[in-house]
Amino acid sequence: MSIRPVLETRAATPTMEGAGVHLHRAFGFQDPTELDPFLLFDDFRNEHPAHYQAGFPWHPHRGIETITYVLSGTVDHSDSLGNTGTLGAGDVQWMTAGSGILHQEMPHGNATGQMHGFQLWGNLPSSLKMTDPNYQDVPSAEIPEIIDDDGTHVRVIVGSFWGRTGPVDGIAADPQYLDISIPAGVKKTLPIDTYRRAFAYVFEGEAAFADASAPTGVLLEKEVGGVEVLMRDMAGDRTLVRFGTGDSVTVQAGPEGVRFLLISGAPIQEPVAWHGPIVMNTQEELRQAMKDLRTGQFIKTGHG
């Protein structure tokens, strides 16, 4: 067994998107090779309706897949192909934009006004950039859940884990998308296929990732579940953890436990030409996409 080292730990950055939605961005619009095949990850969490209710009005996508996971509140969506629907708490939508789609996403809070969800962008390889658009809407009840003997809880959204397989399939990045909760003080080793790039995103509690043992001669600042852990090793709320290579990750939950997403995928390793929500392989393809958008050719007859 080879434990993946932590290459980087960084806090998500406050930003605004859409018509003025306040959110935190863990990564996006930077070096696309870092987490290939993933391009962007946003945490849209807010308790103030004025900070999210304007939503994400009509906008285009081409050449990518968008993955929306809702924890609280709802998201109404509609698109240029006539699809409509609502995502509720625990639901997932995996949208393959492919050759092109225009859509809008309008969030609404729960009974107390809270809205919380995530959106991940996955790249498409050149062979699928112009594939037909497609949706996979998955209600919460269809997502497998596993509870281990030590209380660790896993929702298997995509991919296979501990003998269960998530309901979303046929995704180009061959991803694994897990929602994991680990009780206070529990240390857990979680498998990840060696060929995948991987990251974790902590959104409740805190944990130390990779080996939680401390270097000799370093003053320890915390003991968690009988394991001495340095405070500097702990990743807390709204923190991205980017891993190196290996076949597993080790997680030492903090004194209040931890909940995080563990996401991995097969790198595409192709050139990226990127302009906002349109991601192609070359600048020429990108210019063509923008021309199609201007001239009304973005949505082609026969797609959808």
CATH classification at residue 125: 2.60.120.10
The pLDDT score that the predictor gives to residue 216 is 35
In the prediction, which pLDDT does 136 show?
Answer: 87
- pTM, entire model: 0.91
Residue 162 resides in a domain = yes
Residue 298 belongs to some domain of the structure = no
- pLDDT on residue 142: 97
Please report the pLDDT score of residue 33 as a whole number. Answer: 93
Residue 297 maps to a domain: no
Distance, in Å, from the CA atom of 110 to the CA atom of 156, rounded to the nearest integer, reads 24
Cα(92)–Cα(69) distance, rounded to whole angstroms? Answer: 5
Q: Is residue 112 part of a domain?
A: yes
pLDDT at 168: 85
Residue 291 located in a structural domain: no
Q: Provide the pLDDT for residue 304.
A: 34
Q: Domain range spanning residue 220?
A: 6-265
**Total of domains in the chain:** 1
* Main-chain phi, psi angles of 213, to 5 degrees: -75, 150
| pLDDT, block means (10 residues), the chain with 304 residues | 93 96 95 95 95 95 95 94 92 94 95 96 96 92 97 96 90 89 96 96 95 42 52 83 96 96 97 95 96 88 38
In a domain, 296, yes or no: no
Look at residue 278 and tell me if it is in a domain.
no
**pLDDT score of 133:** 93
- Asked whether residue 65 is domain-assigned, the answer is yes
